[in-house]
Amino acid sequence: MNKFPRSAYVHIPFCHRRCFYCDFAVIPLGNKVEALQGYGSKTIKEYLYFLHKEILSIKNKTPLSTIYIGGGTPSILDPKQIKKLIDLFKENYGIVYGAEISMEVDPASFNQNDLHGFINAGINRFSLGVQSFNNQILQKSGRRHLREDAEKSCFWLKREYDSGRIKSWSLDLIQNLPLSGFKEWQDDLKKAITFSPPHISIYDLNIENGTVFKKLVNLGKLKLPSDEEAFSNSNSTHLILKNSGYSRYEISNYCLPRHQSRHNRVYWSGLGWWSFGQGSTSSPWGEKLTRPRVSKEYKEWVIKQCEDNLDSSLTNEDFIYKEVDEKIMLGLRLKEGIDIYKVFREQNFEDKYFESNLSKLLDEWARFIESGLLVRKGNRFFLSEPKGMELSNQILISMFKWWDEIN
């Protein structure tokens, strides 16, 4: 673990409306929201007041090498509000030269002037939530934007990247949405790569409790791609992106050379990070702390943090990361996998348990190595591509079973 975190995540919870698959901590404000003046601006300003207060509450402030502004829909904010946020970090933590400063943007929530404003504020990497280029799929998923909005946004970001005004940008798609069969998914992938995004994230649809999709599933009214279609979709993802020059460096993430997400690698590598905002989770020294998901409770929590001593997870620099199962899970998501011996040693496993616990884990994994899902090279284990990446849950379930048994 780094002694002091060098990365910060900032949660902006506002959305125009909640998508049918979303269970994030968001605050829908409607289509007519205006961030500075007008409808919804009071709610936004009040939230930003408490967000700034939380950011300033940290005592051990050190320069940051990555900042990620996510949501929600951060592009609902005005560029002036984004600039104030970045300046707050710059003036109180410091931002190292060459830092990656990312921001999520949503088609139809920003225009070219906004984009230039965000860039001038200090954003040098954007993550565009397209999800699909198919209007029927977008409508069925509760998305607000249309195909033409997504295409315009991609064109703007490509132009800014080609001109050197931003360092990188990512295009996000969701695999196996309703109506997204094999042809529709191939069309989405092929359309995405016409814009040559340096980074592409492909997320599998998960049906979460409390979402519109979950209610429709329970009522038997949601038709999703079959298992066969989902498998075909995954195979086409691997082939199309690989043949287009993209490398799969993490289960859900592909990039062109030198365009991995530095911020997200902090999570996957088990390093520490700050996190600020409603519903966000920090882990500066190993112990996780999740803020309240409800606005009123979050604001009360911030006041308490400022008036009393900070939560121990935010101040205890000597905390030893003990969640070995999570570290293995995150490490296996990466293309290079993990050095399992190094993980055990870093977690201070007692010598008398080291060999026996490791032996039990290797017994669990033997069948996956034999089937080709998992590859071993010396002490390093990694998922095969694409088969192991696609069927990683089987390996992770066996690892969690091992962890439960030895504990």
Q: Can you spell out the DSSP letters for 204-244? A: EP---TTSHHHHHHHTT------HHHHHHHHHHHHHHHHHT
pLDDT at 44 over 90: yes
> Which pLDDT does position 352 carry in this prediction?
61
* pLDDT tens per residue across span 209-262: 999 999 999 999 998 888 888 888 888 899 999 999 999 999 999 999 999 999
Q: What is the mean pLDDT of residues 47-57?
A: 97
**To which H or E segment does residue 297 belong?**
helix 295-307
* pTM for the model: 0.94
* pLDDT tens per residue across span 137-150: 999 999 999 999 99
pLDDT at 122 over 90: yes
Between 260 and 348, name the one with better pLDDT: 260
State both tokens at 222: 């949601």
When the pLDDT of each residue in the chain is averaged and rounded to a whole number, the result is 92
Q: How confident is the model at residue 1 (pLDDT cuts 50, 70, 90)?
A: very low
> Which pLDDT does position 227 carry in this prediction?
82
- β-partners of residue 338 are 381
Between helix 112-121 and helix 79-92 the angle, nearest 10°, is 10
Q: Which fold has domain 324-406?
A: Arc Repressor Mutant, subunit A (1.10.10)
Q: Which fold has domain 7-268?
A: TIM Barrel (3.20.20)
**How far apart are alpha carbons 74 and 282 in whole angstroms?**
19
Percentage, residues of the chain above pLDDT 90: 77
Q: Residues of CATH 1.10.10 domain(s) within the chain?
A: 324-406
3-state class (DSSP) for residue 140: helix
* pLDDT tens per residue across span 350-388: 666 778 888 899 999 999 999 999 999 999 999 998 889
- Check residue 72 and give left, alpha or beta (phi > 0: left; psi -120 to 50: alpha): left
> Which pLDDT does position 285 carry in this prediction?
86
Q: How confident is the model at residue 275 (pLDDT cuts 50, 70, 90)?
A: very high
**How far apart are alpha carbons 174 and 388 in whole angstroms?**
20
Q: Residues of CATH 3.20.20.70 domain(s) within the chain?
A: 7-268
